[in-house]
Amino acid sequence: MNITVCLKRVPDTETRVRISDSGTSIDLGGVKFVLSPYDEFALEAALRMTEASGEGEVVALTFGDTTSRETLRSALAMGADRAVLLNGEVTMDGLATARALVSELGEADVPLILFGVKAADDDQQQVGPMVATLMGRPCATGVSSFELTDGTVVCDREVEGGTERIELPLPAVLTVTKGEFEPRYASLKGIMAAKRKPLEEKEAQVSPARITVEKLEYPPPRAEGRIVGEGPDAVPELVRLLREEANAL
């Protein structure tokens, strides 16, 4: 089965974020970028499915500027067969991103489209279900494991207070969370092979963003805290402070 995995290049989660002088974006100097961690789970899932069945190709698809080439190369190094870059400016408007992806996905008609459950930068958790809705396909979000059967996909997903098993007819869209699909490291052979795999670039068909960033701010500083004491003997004072000062109990 052919599977397309939609990926995003994001700042490494250990990165300290600095707001640029413009005040509406982050300063990219010295920031290390990675494939969004949840997208790695999605890619790993796709690779395992095609490896198990012995047929079908895995396509890595991203919408972004040319710096995303590097991200797609790392997906190819993990094992994706080919990659497509939709060249354009990504904004906070997830629906514009979804439409740009659909303009490409609509042509390919793959039976299974995977996303990470969220991107580690904007964390809006919206592009996957939007793409599914625009394409009229069923979608399960937060999938921790899944099995492909004849014409359906059966997913386990994290929901409040437990896990749910849900069956979707194919073609379908899934957003994948951490679970069964611990991502592999790219092998040296994979990294070498990635250089020869096809990476196609197209201009993205993007509508103007209808959400604009007016400014970015750092989180408000927290008031200076205090060390209440050491060991169990500090507990009564801690509880008193929580009750009387913080009004938290």
Partner 1 sequence: MGDVLAFAEQRGGELRGVSNEIVSAAATLAAELGGAAHAVVLGGPGITGAESVGAFGAVRVLVGEHDALDQYVPEVYAEALAAVVRGGDYAAVLFPATAQGKDLAPRVAALLDVPLACDATQVSAADGVVRVVRPVYAGKAFAHLRMEASPALVSLRPNVFLAENVGGTAAVESFAPEVGTPTTRILEFKATAGGSVDVAEASVIVSGGRGMKDPENWHLLEDLRDALGSDAALGASRAVVDAGWRPHAEQVGQTGKTVAPKLYFAVGISGAIQHLAGMRTAQTIVAINKDPDAPIFTVADFGVVGDALEILPRLSEEIRAVTAD
**What residues from 178 to 237 belong to the interface with partner 1 (CB under 8 A)?**
178-179, 209-219, 222-223, 225-232, 234-236
The Cα–Cα gap between 109 and 224 comes to: 56
Position among 58, 59, 144, 194 found at the interface with partner 1 (CB under 8 A):
144
Listed ranges 60-68, 81-89, 136-144, 197-205: which one lies at the site for partner 1 (CB under 8 A): 136-144
Rounded to whole angstroms, the Cα distance separating 172 from 151 reads 10
User: Counting contacts by CB under 8 A, is residue 239 touching partner 1?
Assistant: yes
Read off the amino acid at residue 228.
V
CA–CA gap between residue 140 and residue 176 (Å, rounded): 9
Report the nearest approach of partner 1 to the CB of residue 185 (Å). Answer: 15
Closest to partner 1 by CB, 38 vs 83, is 38
Q: What is the DSSP string of 59-84?
A: EEEEEE-TTHHHHHHHHHHHT-SEEE
Tell me which residues in 161-180 interact with partner 1 (CB under 8 A): 161-169, 177-179
| 46 binds partner 1 per the rule CB under 8 A | no
Residue from 32, 160, 196, 203 in contact with partner 1 (CB under 8 A): 160
Identify the CA nearest to 76 among candidates 208, 193, 180: 193
Q: Which stretch binds partner 1 (CB under 8 A): 47-55, 66-74, 95-103, 195-203?
A: 95-103
Q: How many angstroms separate the CA atoms of 228 and 246, rounded?
A: 13
In angstroms, give the least distance from the CB of 107 to partner 1: 19
Q: Classify residue 184 by its DSSP letter.
A: P
